[in-house]
Chain A
């Protein structure tokens, strides 16, 4: 079996003063994911390694990590596809708890700021609210978001000022602002027009590259900026 060198940035708050790199030789099969390599380390070499994961196929958003310098889901990238030396670090811009595990609270707090739920105070009809396939298409992209934080933590603006609400929150706001059934668009646009909001974006496109769901993140942020500028959608 071929082997890869996996370099993992380790940190145990109960022992270490600062993070350090540890190297592991990991055998792999052609279908092994980077997550499988991390499991190999955990299960065979060092049981103290901490990494969040659940679904193992790119759906739950647990294991967004900095892999060879870019944000990826460890379970959605195969070892054989990214070379024989692979570096794995925790996401940037969020406080590290232990090894590859970061504190996700600041990320979810920003998500909640945009009121990510359907706002519609009309009495509910007996059946579904009608929506044409074209109307549904307008906000499709944002519905794919799995809240993995890969986009927000790849953004240089977010690294320098943690105040920035970040692309993930904007994409989720977009998902409602452009939903024909929603009535909270103006409220959300007002939130995103604030200093910490959408205009912080410098269109670096890191977020779009990082999104494991293929969401055109930057484009959606631009659409939100335009809606703010013209005073609505």
Chain B
């Protein structure tokens, strides 16, 4: 293996990884590098559309306490409130920092950052919608990704692009680096480092209809799980209400923030029945359930599994100037003109609330006592801190990846200076990664990776989607068991070294199976309905038993659940109504 040594190593170059890198790169005496399986600007942060929230109060009165409350309530009270307070407070300085870094926000007539409405964000603790989401047309994530990449170039951050991290170096409760596969050459590299961070994004590709990129296969979470780190709250996965029918491509909530409306087969604005106050701007879990309920009760359009998003009342300038990307998606992929035609949509797998457990400094933890894995950090969608609890509000992920990405970057610097042992790191990896890839390169079974992946995606969609039950979850768990066995018998066609995507897609499928396994087991275990986790057989929230975070450990074929209390500071749990 080719060997490298760094002080701080960041895996992932989306918003979370880049902001951490930017922060760490300010410590000029430290050697910092970013590893990413994609070129940084290809990361899925660039797909984020609608906005990033902060209580700037630029267009109407707003306070970080209101933002914090909305976050806690939106997460159905499973949110750790110390983390939510940090999110809501630090969002404000983060937005100004982004602006100073050059981010081209849209502006108000008097030259300040413009803000729009978004689902679940309210004034006065739930009284009505508030304009809190800062935006750059419907390309907010793109602008964040570009701006942070630009600043990293300016600060000379060292990038290893198209390096796929496939294993972690863990010994004696601490992390000493990673093993990575160089995509160009098919060689394994060993990166030793004093502090390591995972910012590897989500795993939305384990569902058939998804807003996520092909590359969002849960690598980081799976690698951690295999090395003994538990997965937190994996049962909470968000379906966004408005994906393009069949393709899953997202039509941002900004559409409804600007005035678009959901309608069923008879043209009825059905959200009036489900959420009298916020209607089409209710949180996502509520709207997604409403859409599926409409479809199940026969009110889908043409008796099919979709409803309509109606943009027709929006002036053409709003479509062209504030929602240009989604207008173009509707034209390109559906051939409809949203100004004149109704747009067919269905809920789409979107966002992982759970993941690698961390504390508020971004340190990964081993257990329910919050024991840190020394020198190991995580932030962004792959991590669970937990600011989103059982359901994330729109625009809060971009805040999360930046606020906690930066905190992780900061604490890595502190750790390298104060805690890490001086001198050379001597830990060496076991043979796991080398053997895995030897085996994959030689695989000559009959099973096709693409077929197993498709079967997984369909099964997850059918039985571990928006509505869940004991029966369905047991069925999909059985399917996953069979898929693991079939995965042992796959065949590979590409035996070369150069840009061997055949091998990498196979390895990624293994990660997807692990993420699905953790999700389904956690969903089966939690016998209540809360936020994005709806059990038809347990329709109510059950605070007496379930006001706690799930930690799921796996050791070979053994699984173990433990629980972590929810941190409650300012807001006592209440019934969640909108």
Contact = CB atoms under 8 A, between A and B. Distances in A.
Interface of A: 12-15, 31, 33, 42-44, 46-48, 50-62, 76, 78, 97-99, 101, 104, 108, 112, 115-118, 120, 124, 126-133, 135-136, 139-140, 143-147, 176, 179, 181-182
Contacts of A130: 110-112
Pairs A-B, 8 closest by C-beta atoms:
A118-B102, A43-B450, A47-B493, A130-B111, A117-B150, A48-B494, A117-B154, A47-B502
Contacts of B499: 50, 97-99, 101
Given A179-B104, A181-B102, A54 B215 contact: yes
Nearest to A126: B96
B568 interface: no
Interface string B563-576: 00000000000000
A6 to B, nearest CB: 17
Majority secondary structure of chain A interface residues (helix, strand, loop or mixed): loop
B415 interface: no
A59 B47 CA distance: 6
Interface in B170-188: 184
A31 to B, nearest CB: 6
B160 interface: no
B139 interface: yes
Interface string B480-502: 00000000000011101111111
A116 B153 contact: yes
B462 interface: no
Interface in B315-343: 325, 329, 332-334
Given A47-B493, A117-B151, A179-B104, A128 B99 contact: yes
Interface in B88-121: 95-96, 99-102, 104-113
Contacts of A59: 46-47, 142, 325
A8 B578 CA distance: 53
A136 B47 contact: no
A136 B107 contact: yes
Given A48-B494, A55-B44, A130-B112, A182 B502 contact: no
Contacts of B86: none
Interface stretch (B35-43, B65-73, B284-292, B552-560): B35-43
Interface residues of B, number: 59
B42 A118 contact: no
Given A31-B247, A133-B109, A12 B498 contact: yes
Contacts of A42: 450, 501
B448 interface: yes
Given A60-B43, A60-B47, 6 more contacts: A31-B247, A44-B450, A58-B332, A120-B102, A130-B112, A147-B41
Contacts of A12: 496, 498
Given A59-B46, A61-B42, A136 B102 contact: no
B439 interface: no
A144 B42 contact: no
B42 A54 contact: yes
Contacts of A140: 104
Contacts of B446: none
B112 A128 contact: yes
A125 to B, nearest CB: 8
Contacts of B105: 128
Given A14-B498, A112-B153, A144-B139, A136 B332 contact: no
Contact of B111 (A118, A132, A143, A182): A132
Contacts of A13: 498
Nearest to B154: A117
B249 interface: yes
Contacts of B502: 47-48
A20 B291 CA distance: 49
Contacts of A47: 449, 492-494, 502
B345 to A, nearest CB: 14
Contacts of A181: 102
A124 B110 CA distance: 19
Given A14-B497, A48-B494, A48-B502, A57 B249 contact: yes
Contacts of B146: 143, 145
A46 B44 CA distance: 27
Interface string B121-165: 000000000000000100100110010001101100000000000
B214 interface: yes
Nearest to B491: A47
Determine which residue in A59, A76, A78 has the highest number of CB atoms from chain B within 10 A of its CB, and name it: A59
Contacts of A99: 499
Contacts of B112: 127-128, 130
B250 to A, nearest CB: 8
